[in-house]
Amino acid sequence: MWIYVNDRFVRKEEARISVFDHGFLYGDGIYETLRAYKGRIFMLRHHLARLRRSAGLIGLDMPIAESDWPALLQETLERNALSDAYLRITISRGEGAIGLDPRLCPRPTVVIIGLPLQSYPPQLFQDGVSLTVVSVRRNLTSALSPQIKSLNFLNNILAKQEATQQGAFDGVMLNHQGHVTECTTSNILFAKDQCLCTPSVECGILDGITREIVLLMAKEDKLPIDEGCYTTEMLQHADEIFLTNTTMEIMPVRRIDTQRIGQEIPGPITRRLQELFRLNLPRFLE
């Protein structure tokens, strides 16, 4: 396996970062997860734009020119003979002396990893997954903006840990007002009375790129859309629920805690959006 570290590709066994790297010490850094279909990367420009946004929000200078990213990612695929693949870009503040001041780190650390895509079991898409509403609240937006894809992922990890202990596939996180935000690594959408609903960015969510594509397809298909604030009760009384992220695409939900969702899995709107996603996929590959 070849991994890009800073300015060159190295074998996995040689891929190392310093114990003084501030990404390791403090979670000071950002990342993006991308997916390739038959060697073509899904929504590449959007992912790179979000990476730049995250960097800007933490005052981190992008260490690689915008025009160089596509070639580096393509070389990652080719060196590892990958077709359907998972790609992860990690940029930390870099190596520096102990301390919180970002100026202690003269150069960011860049890592690009490419792996064969590990698809979710087909049975999950047929039967749906179970969720639980966890007690771990989403970070206050005024404390840590969800618009930053931060290496500091402990908030989500604690929520995932609680969901796993409850025997659920994932956990639904609420904000400080008790409104639904998202799951630990995915956005949540639901259908009620033929309207597609999803928590708004103002609720404290990361505006997922697959979420964006699903909303675009729904709009083109003339399906009413509402982005707002929702309670867990509204979610539990939905006609259909599904999750979205880069690797799972569109995943139906069968249950939240003890509440069964809908009459069939996946529901008609979920199935329609899954079909539209596959049909439109070539539009979003670069």
Domains belonging to the chain, first-starting first, are: 2-116 (3.30.470.10), 122-281 (3.20.10.10)
- pLDDT for 286: 79
Enzyme catalytic residues = 149
**Segment 126-144 mean pLDDT:** 96
Two structure tokens written together for 102: 């970002």
pTM of the model: 0.94
Two structure tokens written together for 40: 């073509």
CB distance 31 to 109 below 8 Å:
no
Cα–Cα distance for residue pair 181/124, rounded to 1 Å: 22
* pLDDT tens readout for residues 223-259: 999 999 999 999 999 999 999 999 999 999 999 999 9
The pLDDT-based confidence of 208 (bands split at 50, 70, 90) is very high
CA-only gyration radius of the chain, Å: 19
Q: What are phi and psi of 122, to 5 degrees?
A: -55, -30
SS3 category, 36: strand
CB distance 95 to 105 below 8 Å:
yes
